[in-house]
Amino acid sequence: MDYIVIVFAKFVGFISGLLGGGTNLPGQIALKFRPNILKRLVRGYRVILVTGTNGKSTTTSILQNILKQTGKRAVFSASGANMKGGVVSCLIKNFPLFRKIDGDFAVLEVDEAYMRHITAEISPEVIAVTNIFRDQLDRYGELDKTLSLIEEACKKAPDATLVLNGDEAMLGDFVPENKRFYYGFSVPPRSGEKPGNAEGTFCKNCNTPYTYNFLTFSHLGDYSCPGCGFHRPDIDLSVDEIFSISQDSSHVSMGGMSVSVPQAGAYNIYNALCAAACGKVLGVSDEEIKKGIEGQKSKFGRQETVDIDGTSLRIILIKNPAGAEEAITSVLPDKDEVSVGVLLNDNVGDGKDVSWIYDVEFEKLSTLQTKNVLVGGTRAYDMAVRLKTAGFENLSVYISYDELLETIKGCGGKVYLFVTYSAMTGFRKFLHGKKYIKKLWF
């Protein structure tokens, strides 16, 4: 019966893909007929789950690229659909009808709040946690709630090795007793960094403000508590030297291994480092890790560059204060004249509360040689007001994607377009329909 349901769901997914449909439908159909089909779908795989507030999709994609270098098949949730329907859809799409799964890898991005439902059914070999930031307060609440949801999920997978961001104080005294592997920075990516947005900067044990030897960004870094002595754990794999960081890439040393990270920003160094740490735990060689990272291409909407009739459009996902701050910082090294845009939505995938935009220092963008400032999305006027308060005067607000596209065509040079999640998927679908993007889902 499982096999019949899988074949039928694969067919539905194929037709849905031809019609430009969503990525959850095959999984939803399979779960309707076989609620426990996830156990069947992961049989034979070495399963790695990736969760956390920021970086899940990019980390998953990099890790899949690393694991491919081993010669084994590595499937991953390319669309970013990270609840049960999306996870099942990914596995159905990649389910081999005419061969046995034996030691292949399944790298699955999983929503922080939903992961406990996944680990209740399957036993992953590795669980990677990227970070914990304030995000979608209407869904997650505050940081301690997100932490408790992730801890609950990990407790249900006692045999999994936890790959944890050692620079994330929220993960420094993780409740589950699983085997752990920590990654982090031994040197700061920037000098003089100060804690951003005042989240996660107080000791989770005694509420004393942390002191830092250095910060990477927001509250991440080499922390310690002067009140109770709680401090950063020993790091198993670290960025021990930074050779260069530009608006396009970074060149660093990870555990003595020289690696070029082909995406901008410290947060993408973290994503590559997390993927490398998972590779280490899974027994992948340094050479294969390096090749996987350096051969990585930008995932859809995550610093993806699209040619719009000669204008270079870079689409950059933002969804919370910490992530938006780093996304902005990543483009600041650019000394060319550029245009900047922000598409702000308040749909379910974005979070209904958009007040977080006032916790983001959009003022930093004023250091760029900005030619045009473009604003759109369901909350375009809220975003326009925020940018006005940041000192930008000549704003253009666009209600339709057609008008926005025509303006982008006329910008020439480079356009950095910061977008929330549903704005990213919606605008990419629009560009796909206009033939500027070949593949809607990677």
- Catalytic residue numbers? 353
C-alpha span between 299 and 262 (Å, rounded) = 11
C-alpha span between 112 and 271 (Å, rounded) = 16
If one counts every other C-beta atom within 10 angstroms of the C-beta of residue 296, the result is: 22
Q: Which element (helix H / strand E) includes 222? A: strand 220-224
List, in sequence order, every beta strand (DSSP E) within 262-310.
Answer: 302-308
C-alpha span between 252 and 233 (Å, rounded) = 22
| Residue 261: partners with Cβ closer than 8 Å, 6 or more residues away | 249, 250, 251, 252, 268, 269, 272, 293, 294
Strands 211-217 and 220-224, how do they pair? Answer: antiparallel
C-alpha closest to that of 394 among 410, 370, 376, 416: 370
C-alpha closest to that of 164 among 267, 281, 242: 281
If one counts every other C-beta atom within 10 angstroms of the C-beta of residue 179, the result is: 12
List, in sequence order, every beta strand (DSSP E) within 95-192.
Answer: 104-109, 126-129, 161-165, 180-185
Q: Identify the residue whose tokens are 């007929």.
A: 33
The DSSP result for 249-269, as a single string, is -EEEEETTEEEEESS-SHHHH
End-to-end CA distance of the chain: 30
